[in-house]
Amino acid sequence: MTRSTGASLLIIGGSSNVEKVGAVERTPVADEADPPAPPAVAPITAERVRSGLSVAEVAERVASGQVNDLPSSTSRSVWQIVRANLFTRINAIIGVLFAIIVVVGPIQDGLFGGVIVANTLIGIIQEVRAKRTLDRLAIVGDARPRVRRGGDTVELASSEIVLDDVIELGPGDKVVVDGRVVAVDGLEIDESLLTGEADPVVKAVGDNVLSGSFVVAGTGVCTATRVGRDAYAAQLTEEAKRFTLVNSELRNGINWILRFVTWAIIPAGIALIISQLLVNRDDLPEAARRMVAGLVPMVPEGLVLLTSVAFAIGVIRLGQRQCLVQELPAIEGLARVDVVCLDKTGTLTEATMDVAEVRSLVPGVPVDAVLGALGAGDERPNASMQAIVDRYPGPPEWVVEQTAWFSSARKWSGATLVEPSGRTATWLLGAPEMLLAEHPVLADADALGQQGLRVLLLAEFSRPLAEALADPSSVPASTTPVALVVLEQRVRPEASDTLRYFADQGVGAKVISGDNAVSVGAVARGVGLPGAADAVDARNLPTDPEALADTVETHSVFGRVGPQQKRAMVGALQSRGHTVAMTGDGVNDVLALKDADVGISMGSGSAAARGVSQIVLLNNNFSSLPSVVAEGRRVIGNIERVANLFLTKTVYSVLLAIIVVIWQVPYPFLPRHLTLIGSLTIGIPAFVLALAPNAERARPDFVGRVLRFAIPGGILAATATITSYGFARSHYGDDLPAETSVATVTLFLVALWALAIIARPYTWWRILLVLGMGLAFVTVLVVPFLQTFFQLRLVGTEAPLVGAAIAVVAGLLMEVAWAVMRRRLAGRA
């Protein structure tokens, strides 16, 4: 089979086209910030386009820095990680307090400094591990454009492209640099992610293409006119993707908490400093120690650390499952997902297909030869066309005169073919209902679709192909059906279990496909999706946003959905308060992937789909989704758990400082006591709980829920502690170590009770965790060396038992507060 050069990519062969390339100016495409005109370039010769740059020319451009060297979008540098974990406001506060203890001694009271050092090192190590995981996976998932170099076509990393490189473009390819078109064959570019313009732009020789856009149909060749930070998309989005929690409710909530704590610490801390200096004026070192003891626990030093560690370990765990997290907020989004929109092909079914049957409708037509010619003329076949290519080889002596590449909007492809006899005809291959208006063959197609088969119609078009492209709506009136091509789709064996998981977890599943609605419904029924029997043809969907939202809310399966409709359906679900995850692998999924709360693409999908997704399943395995969602829930749910512990400590520390100031007594603890209590009831347990499984879906109002527990819990802990301390002072007189010991026992028991509440629901290891922390504290109380080291000495039995009883009462009241809060939250759900 041969291909006419008049309509092929060799259109650049004439010198007039070469001159045109050099003369055309860029047309503005964005309303808000028009891209600047490309720099003047030397005329591009036909030989240059055919062969690309030579090795010497590439080396010259690399040496001059004309390389597409965009910064990594997935991770910070090692130095940025070290700086972010080391130079923090919390570390500065703790560092000053530690320096005071170093001066006044003893070193036991400076144990909190070692905790900060350990926390910082843990944070740095975990984030560096996450960075390495991300960077390694990003190399696998990166777009690899096809570039002509030295007469050969090679796949390169985006960062290896240099100025003036000759780049081939095909369906699904992401444009990675700004360029100028030098050859086209039905090339259509979607620039909506940059300009907001919904319709694909048909490109001609001499037109400009922008980085960040993607090919929806046809093929072409462009030369790179801007690379790296000079490219249009890079100027707009260089700061858009970082290894941070951008626009994150969790991060915003934690920042709000830290700001609140900072303002609370300042007056309480100043008052406590003055108070302890006055109360202990005869013993300044003791005053300094008591002052530091009051200030250190006010700072929730481990909250930020554990948040960072939880996210970093989440990235590592997902990386081990071949899931590339391109934007860290995606992990938080996963925890909140309650609807997953699935594309049928590549998710419920495997991406590959087989030709099961070809039903000829017109005797005497060489259907096999026509299909072979159409397949051979498609340089970038999709899954359907690839099945035809595998079945029917291209016939000799057939000539492709003109082509129309497959478009998700049209849902057909076509070509004008010249047969060996000299007869010229235009053939279209695509969705039967898009090529025919009314015809008995449509019923046959529906019957086959009900069996879960994909059906394509081969039709002869009676007018020139250019007219079909100019007005696709006129196609059905001028087509003659010639054959039905029946494709068999392989249902993924894990699809049923995956959908069952989502149902059990309260996550709704919506199948949104470009295929025939009847066929999609049959596949969905086969994998047990609820509502699959009532499949909706998207061509009949209402355009009114409210009516569309009603339909999408109440149905589960949609067929013949166009790219703009997918985007609208995602928006409709979001308008009803849903957090939506969208999966897809093709160019028709890009807009919906971008608009979804979490976009998830397959590693084998188009570069455009991978480029706009927050998560890429590099193993192309739909069954990875449950583990991805579970990881998001684990991270967010556990961060909320440990935040309750840290904020409870902050609340009771601030209240104790205020009460001590008003009462004008020595602060009831030394720094070593609160380091011990904090480590056993917050630090160690929080680290374990932050990494534990957690399947509960995250809910909004993170700060509100944390404060609803932390405030009453902190008030009860402070009240119990100061009551016990007051009783001990009246019982022991001036024996300050004995008074401090009783207060320490009371506070530890209340804090341990709070831990026991937060650790629910109980499992064997959670019970062991709580009991282990209690046993560790008892060990400190009974081992002489540890008694001396921590300066804990229980005198008699009356005061310690009263302190323990007070702690029990506070714990019971905390249970009541917890039950009331849970009941109110359940009522709002």
Residue 774 has pLDDT above 60, yes or no: yes
In this prediction, residue 363 has a pLDDT band, given cuts at 50, 70 and 90, of confident
Question: Please, what is the Cα angle at 712 between 635 and 749, to 5 degrees?
Answer: 80
Identify the residue with better confidence: 21 or 175: 175
246 pLDDT more than 50 = no
Residues with catalytic roles: 343
Higher per-residue confidence, 288 vs 783? 783
Q: What is the pLDDT of residue 333?
A: 79
Tokens read off for 34: 């028009």
Q: Is the pLDDT score of 337 beyond 50?
A: yes
Q: What is the pLDDT of residue 1?
A: 59
- Does residue 32 carry a pLDDT above 50? no
What share of the chain has pLDDT > 70, as a percent?
88
pLDDT at 147 over 80: yes
Least confident window among 217-226, 274-283, 802-811: 274-283
The pLDDT of residue 328 is: 65
Residues 15, 12: Cα–Cα separation, whole Å:
8
Q: Note the pLDDT of residue 248.
A: 66
Q: Averaging pLDDT over each range in 106-120, 295-309, 415-429, 768-782, which range is the top one?
A: 768-782
Pick the CATH number of 323-348+493-620 from 3.40.50.1000, 3.40.50.1980, 3.40.50.720, 3.30.360.10: 3.40.50.1000
**Which has the minimum average pLDDT: 70-74, 188-192, 221-225, 389-393?**
70-74
Contact 368, 621 (CB under 8 A): no
Q: What is the mean pLDDT of residues 533-550?
A: 89
Q: Given this model, what pLDDT does residue 771 score? A: 95
Residue 768 has what pLDDT?
A: 95
pLDDT at 218: 81
Neighbouring CB atoms inside 10 A of 355's CB total: 18
8 Å CB contact between 163 and 227: yes
Question: What is the per-residue pLDDT for 625?
Answer: 80
Would you say domain 301-315+634-656+668-828 falls under CATH 3.30.1180.20? no
pTM to 2 decimals?
A: 0.70
Cβ burial of 503 (10 Å; 0-12, 13-18, 19+) is: middle
Residues 564, 566, 571: CA angle, nearest 5 degrees = 95
The tens digit of pLDDT for each residue in 588-609 reads 788 888 888 888 888 777 777 7
Topology alike, domains 301-315+634-656+668-828 and 323-348+493-620: no
Token digits for 23?
């003369």
Map out the domains of the chain as residue ranges.
Answer: 37-244, 301-315+634-656+668-828, 323-348+493-620, 349-491
Return d(Cα 506, Cα 829) in angstroms, integer: 13
Residue 543 has pLDDT above 80, yes or no: yes
Mean pLDDT score, 311-327:
80
- What mean pLDDT is predicted for residues 205-214? 85
Please tell me the predicted confidence (pLDDT) of residue 70. Answer: 66
What's the pLDDT band for 107 if we cut at 50, 70, 90? confident
What is the reported pLDDT for 377? 82
Range in 280-294, 500-514, 728-742, 761-775 the model is least confident about: 280-294
* pLDDT value, residue 33: 44
Q: What mean pLDDT is predicted for residues 516-526? A: 85
Assess whether pLDDT exceeds 80 at residue 650: yes
User: pLDDT category, 371, cuts 50, 70, 90?
Assistant: very high
pLDDT of residue 518: 85
pLDDT value of residue 245:
36
pLDDT of 53 above 70: yes
**CA distance linking residue 586 with residue 567, whole number of Å:** 14
**What does the alpha-carbon distance between residue 557 and residue 578 come to, in Å, rounded to a whole number?**
17
- Band (244; pLDDT cuts 50, 70, 90): very low
Alpha helix positions (H), 73-204: 78-86, 89-104, 111-141, 192-195
Count of helix runs (H) and strand runs (E) in the chain: 31, 22
| Residue range 349-491, CATH number | 3.40.1110.10
Lowest mean pLDDT among 66-80, 98-112, 288-302: 66-80
Q: Considering the chain, what percentage of its residues have pLDDT values greater than 90?
A: 18
Q: Is 103 exposed, middle or buried (0-12, 13-18, 19+ CB in 10 A)?
A: exposed
The architecture of the domain spanning 37-244 is Distorted Sandwich (2.70)
The residue ranking higher by pLDDT, 512 or 239, is: 512
Burial per residue of 543-564, b for 16 or more beta-carbon CB atoms within 10 angstroms, e otherwise:
eeeeebbebbeebbbbbbbbbb
Q: β-strand 580-584 against 339-342: which pairing, if any?
A: parallel
Cis link prior to 671 (omega < 30° from 0)? no
Mean pLDDT over residues 450-468, rounded? 88
pLDDT reported for residue 16 = 30
Mean pLDDT over the full length of the chain: 81
Residues in the chain: 829
d(CA 634, CA 631): 5
CA–CA separation, 167 vs 172, rounded Å? 14
Averaged over 314-340, what is the pLDDT? 80
- 31: pLDDT confidence band, cut at 50, 70 and 90? very low
